[in-house]
């Protein structure tokens, strides 16, 4: 049987080669690159039912680098069912663009073929291309395992020439003064970091001045301000964004492709030095930033990336473990929600203990009056989810449903009106108020303030903002212990376990001359460098965008829960002999939880109008969880919420 399968596999490869020769196309072969494996955000990662490891402040974090992407490619295989597994491609980009005059181009850069039995296989190519001739080329990548199973994937490579009418990339940076501006909508911590990076960048390029401008209180305001400026105003040189924003900017001719810069022979990333290479940027982030066009152009680079995690009051869960209610902190929604009555039963005692400790603080603003303590008890809800939009999108996937997609013309398509989404909404409706709610119940956007006074026992939020959930420290100890772990999943569909990949990217706009565009590119390359990404991760808790950061000793000490301090004189982070405390401990625990779920992350395809879809499902989830129950039924609430979201989204999509 094995001989027959090998013969069939060899025959398929022979026919593939003959097809290309018959078309007058040269057949070439290649070998896979040997760079460090990169991380992914696959939606088709192999499912697991293994319980996630709980990360708490009292446990040292693991130091593993995020693991490689799960299979996402189609398989052409001669494998007979139930005999063995076929190989899978990892890190292969099927739509690629390169510009004439770029670095030596490897169409298989970062690509691997992995077989469960044989390990890594050689990847071959059939077909030819030339990076000196403009055109579209079709090249097949293929690999064969020892059992004769063959995997093939068509790669479409588009070779372009940079149009001088759009912009040109100077061979050298001018020595004349250059001023560029970056718009963002971050808080004080990130803004301070960006201003510091602008000054450090000026040390490298004394003639370039980068102005950091906050132009919006949130990302939606920033998007609106940018679109308005494109249509009739002055736009910045660099804009912070989400992928759905980028689609609008492309549609309004507000941003330029970064592909020519990425592979530029002088100014591009350095493929000869791993930690300076483009491949060192995590695979899932490269995929996210190449999703905008049919030919895989890069219109943005990752900057502050994050995911959502579960932050919980460890003191409360330790009580439930001690009294035999549970053996460990649950990692499924069903098990977690089942603890609602138990958490309600112990809340008053825990809140009294927390308030008593807060009242011992020398910071008078932390003190709680008897009336305030009672209000905390009265308003207690066990479990809270910060983002209604993320909740709808993530939970729809966990319940086996679809959110949105694109058609063959890359127009947005609404998919969230489906039985799975309705089943999800029905389940969470049945658990509204006890044990589940949204921060809007208390008139706030985030649950961090409620969490810090024990008004909620669990909150789901971004790793980038995890530090805001850090309990107060009084008399050198937390007022309660906390833990952080990966997002829970639906125990009925463990194969749909997933968590959102989020955080913003940066794009270069059409503003300014060629030297300003080059300066903008150099600053973005600086922001994505290993040293800056290491610093930014330690300062803010966001996930590094480079693989090489995860192997840095100081970052591993940070994840191990050691105290890390910044030396302002030498501009480096150093570790002390002490254990981490305060916000640094929370950031460390969140970083470990994020790494644990790295194989289960997803991002949604961006399209013009996808920001509207997100806003509409946010309103839909709020209506289901927070809306009035008077004079209506659960089914009517869900039906009207979905109908409104679909209608309002389609109104924008046309």
Percent of the chain with pLDDT over 70: 87
Q: Are residues 190 and 328 in the same domain?
A: no
Query: What's the pLDDT tens digit per position in 318-339?
Result: 999 999 999 999 999 999 999 9
The pLDDT assigned to 9 comes to 52
| Last residue in a domain, options 132, 160, 188 | 160
Residue carrying structure tokens 């293994």: 50
Q: Is the pLDDT of residue 555 over 60?
A: yes
| CA neighbor of 306 nearest in space, from 603, 604, 618 | 603
Round to whole Å and give the CA distance between 275 and 595: 20
- Average pLDDT across the chain, whole number: 89
Please tell me the predicted confidence (pLDDT) of residue 14.
53
The DSSP 8-state label assigned to residue 528 in this structure reads T
Given CA atoms 363, 365, 370, 373 in this order, what sign does their dihedral have?
negative
> How many independent structural domains does the chain possess?
3
Mean local confidence (pLDDT), 396-422: 97
Per-residue pLDDT at 54 exceeds 80:
no
What integer pLDDT is reported at residue 68 of this predicted model? 41
For residue 133 the two structure tokens come to 């001739």
Residues 6+ apart with CB under 8 A from 560: 60, 61, 63, 588
User: b/e for 458-477, b at 16 or more Cβ within 10 A?
Assistant: bbbbbbbbbbbbbbbebeee
Asked if 248 and 385 sit in the same domain, the reply is no
Tell me the two tokens of residue 627.
């809306």
Q: In this structure, are residues 515 and 170 in contact, taking their beta carbons and an 8 Å threshold?
A: yes
**Residue 128 contacts residue 28 (beta carbons within 8 Å):** yes
Tokens matching residue 364:
């008078």
Question: Is pLDDT of 11 > 70?
Answer: no
Q: Of 5-14, 43-52, 634-643, where does mean pLDDT reach its minimum?
A: 43-52
56-65, 74-83, 112-121, 550-559, range with the lowest pLDDT:
56-65
d(CA 88, CA 111): 10
* Least-confidence region, from 19-28, 79-88, 227-236, 468-477: 19-28
- Distance in angstroms (rounded) separating the CA atoms of residues 428 and 433: 10
Give me the mean pLDDT over the 260-287 stretch. 98
Q: How far apart are CA 381 and CA 258, in angstroms?
A: 47
| Distance separating alpha carbons of residues 420 and 397, to the nearest angstrom | 8
Task: Please give the average per-residue pLDDT across 26-42, as a whole number.
Answer: 35
The enclosing domain of 579 has a CATH number of 3.40.190.10
Structure tokens at 268: 């591009």
Place of tokens 């152009």: 297
pLDDT at 163: 85
* Total residues belonging to the chain: 654
Residue 583's domain spans which residues? 178-305+511-599
Q: How far apart are CA 239 and CA 228, in angstroms?
A: 13
Residues 490 and 394 in one domain: yes
Give a yes or no: residue 171 inside a domain: no
Q: What is the pLDDT of residue 66?
A: 55
What is the distance between the alpha carbons of residues 4 and 10, in angstroms, rounded to a whole number? 10
> In the predicted model, is pLDDT for residue 538 greater than 80?
yes
Residues in contact with 531: Cβ distance below 8 Å, sequence separation at least 6, in sequence order: none
Q: 50-78 burial by CB neighbour count: b if 16+ within 10 A, else e?
A: eebebbbbeeebebebbebbbbbbebebb
- Same-domain pairing of 616 and 595: no
Distances (CA, A) of 387 to 151, 446, 468, 630: 40, 8, 15, 25
Cβ-contact 349, 507 below 8 angstroms:
no
Average pLDDT over residues 402-410: 95
484 and 587: one domain? no
Q: Which of 498, 486, 502, 500 is nearest to 400 (CA)?
A: 498
C-beta of residue 197 within 8 angstroms of C-beta of residue 533: no
Residue 426 · residue 434 · CB < 8 Å? no
Which of 599, 620, 644 is the last residue before a domain boundary? 599
CA distances from 226 to 179, 271, 524, 613 (A): 19, 33, 19, 19
The verdict on 243 and 279 lying in the same domain is: yes
Is 424 a residue whose pLDDT tops 90? yes
Q: Are residues 536 and 595 in the same domain?
A: yes
| Same domain, yes or no: 282 and 431 | no
Contact between residue 608 and residue 407 where contact means Cβ atoms under 8 Å apart: no
45 assigned to some structural domain: no
Say yes or no: 474 and 620 in one domain. Answer: yes
**Phi, psi values for residue 250, rounded to 5°:** -60, -45
pLDDT in tens, 75-122: 343 444 445 788 999 999 999 999 999 999 999 999 999 999 999 999
Task: State how far the Cα of 151 lies from the Cα of 144, in Å rounded to an integer.
Answer: 7
Residue 55 lies in a domain: no
pLDDT in tens, 436-466: 999 999 999 999 999 999 999 999 999 999 9
User: Is the peptide bond preceding residue 525 cis, with omega within 30 degrees of 0?
Assistant: no
Sign of CA dihedral 543, 544, 547, 550: negative
Q: What is the pLDDT of residue 233?
A: 83
Between residues 17 and 257, the one the model is more confident about: 257
| pTM of the complete model | 0.88
Residues 540 and 454 in one domain: no
pLDDT at 654: 87
* pLDDT for res 39: 34
Distance CA 487, CA 601 (A): 10
**In the prediction, which pLDDT does 15 show?**
52
Q: Does some domain include residue 52? A: no
Spatial CA neighbour of 92 closest among 113, 75, 76:
113
Return the pLDDT at 165: 73
Same domain, 626 and 585: no
pLDDT value of residue 32: 33
Residue 422 confidence (pLDDT) above 50: yes
**Distance of alpha carbon 337 from alpha carbon 609, whole angstroms:** 34
What single string gives the DSSP state of each residue in 310-333? EEEEHHHHHHHHHTTS-SS---BH
Tell me, yes or no, whether 170 lies in a domain: no
Handedness of CA 250, 191, 302, 104 (dihedral sign): positive
- State whether 469 and 370 are in the same domain: yes
Domain boundary among 109, 126, 160: 160
Q: Establish if 49 belongs to a structural domain.
A: no
- φ, ψ for residue 399, nearest 5 deg: -95, 10
Q: Is 455 among the domain residues?
A: yes
Q: At residue 536, does pLDDT exceed 60?
A: yes
In the block, tokens 């480096």 appear at: 572
- The CATH code of the domain that includes 73 is 2.60.40.10
Instruction: For residue 127, give both structure tokens.
Output: 């077909």
User: What is the phi/psi pair of residue 262, to 5°?
Assistant: -55, -40
Q: Which two tokens stand for residue 208?
A: 């370039």
Does some domain include residue 37?
no
Residue 123 clears pLDDT 60, i.e. is over it: yes
Q: Six-digit token pair at 19?
A: 């097809």
The confidence score (pLDDT) of residue 49 equals: 32
């Amino acid at each position: 049987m094995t001989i027959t399968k090998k013969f069939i596999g060899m025959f398929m490869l022979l026919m593939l080669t003959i097809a290309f020769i018959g078309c007058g196309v040269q057949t070439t072969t290649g070998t896979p690159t040997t760079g460090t494996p990169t991380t992914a955000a696959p939606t088709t990662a192999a499912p697991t039912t293994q319980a996630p490891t709980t990360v708490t402040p009292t446990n040292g974090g693991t130091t593993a680098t995020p693991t490689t992407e799960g299979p996402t490619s189609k398989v052409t295989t001669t494998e007979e069912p139930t005999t063995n597994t076929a190989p899978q491609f990892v890190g292969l980009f099927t739509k690629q663009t390169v510009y004439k005059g770029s670095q030596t181009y490897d169409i298989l850069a970062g690509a691997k073929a992995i077989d469960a039995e044989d390990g890594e296989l050689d990847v071959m190519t059939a077909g030819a291309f030339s990076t000196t001739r403009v055109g579209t080329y079709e090249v097949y990548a293929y690999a064969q395992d020892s059992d004769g199973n063959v995997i093939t994937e068509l790669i479409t490579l588009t070779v372009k020439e940079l149009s001088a009418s759009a912009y040109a990339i100077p061979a050298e940076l001018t020595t004349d003064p250059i001023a560029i501006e970056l718009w963002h909508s971050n808080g004080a911590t990130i803004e301070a970091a960006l201003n510091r990076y602008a000054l450090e960048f000026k040390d490298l390029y004394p003639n370039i001045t980068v102005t950091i401008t906050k132009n919006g209180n949130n990302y939606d305001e920033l998007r609106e301000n940018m679109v308005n400026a494109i249509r009739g105003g002055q736009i910045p040189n660099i804009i912070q964004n989400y992928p759905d924003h980028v689609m609008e900017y492309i549609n309004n001719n507000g941003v330029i492709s970064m592909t020519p810069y990425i592979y530029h022979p002088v100014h591009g990333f350095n493929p000869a030095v791993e930690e300076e290479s483009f491949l060192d940027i995590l695979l899932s982030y490269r995929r996210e930033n190449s999703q905008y066009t049919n030919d895989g152009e890069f219109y943005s680079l990752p900057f502050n990336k994050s995911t959502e995690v579960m932050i919980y009051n460890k003191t409360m869960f330790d009580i439930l473990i001690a009294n035999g209610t549970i053996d460990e902190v649950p990692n499924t929604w069903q098990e977690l929600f089942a603890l609602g009555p138990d958490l309600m039963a112990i809340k008053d005692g825990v809140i009294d203990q927390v308030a008593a400790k807060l009242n011992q603080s020398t910071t008078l603003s932390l003190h709680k009056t008897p009336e305030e303590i009672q209000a905390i008890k009265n308003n207690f809800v066990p479990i809270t989810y910060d983002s209604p939009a993320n909740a709808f999108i993530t939970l729809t996937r966990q319940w086996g449903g679809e959110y949105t997609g694109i058609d063959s013309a890359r127009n947005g398509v609404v998919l969230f009106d489906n039985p799975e989404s309705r089943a999800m909404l029905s389940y969470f409706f049945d658990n509204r108020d006890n044990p589940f709610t949204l921060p809007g119940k208390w008139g706030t956007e985030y649950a961090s303030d409620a969490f810090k006074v024990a008004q909620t026992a669990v909150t789901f939020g971004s790793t980038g903002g995890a530090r805001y959930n850090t309990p107060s420290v009084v008399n050198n100890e937390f007022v309660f212990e906390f833990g952080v772990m990966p997002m829970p999943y639906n125990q009925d569909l463990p194969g749909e376990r997933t968590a959102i990949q989020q955080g913003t990217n940066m794009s270069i706009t059409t503003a300014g001359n060629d030297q300003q565009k080059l300066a903008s590119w150099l600053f973005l390359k600086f922001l994505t460098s290993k040293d800056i990404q290491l610093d930014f991760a330690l300062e803010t808790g966001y996930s590094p965008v480079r693989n090489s950061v995860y192997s840095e000793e100081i970052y591993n000490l940070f994840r191990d829960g050691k105290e890390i301090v910044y030396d302002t004189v030498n501009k480096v982070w150093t570790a002390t002999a002490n254990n981490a405390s305060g916000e640094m401990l929370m950031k460390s625990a969140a970083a470990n939880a994020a790494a644990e779920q790295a194989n289960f992350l997803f991002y949604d395809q961006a399209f013009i109008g996808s920001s509207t879809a997100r806003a509409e499902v946010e309103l839909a989830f709020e209506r289901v969880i927070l809306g009035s129950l008077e004079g209506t039924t659960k089914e009517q609430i869900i039906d009207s919420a979905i109908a409104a979201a679909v209608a309002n989204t389609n109104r924008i999509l046309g």
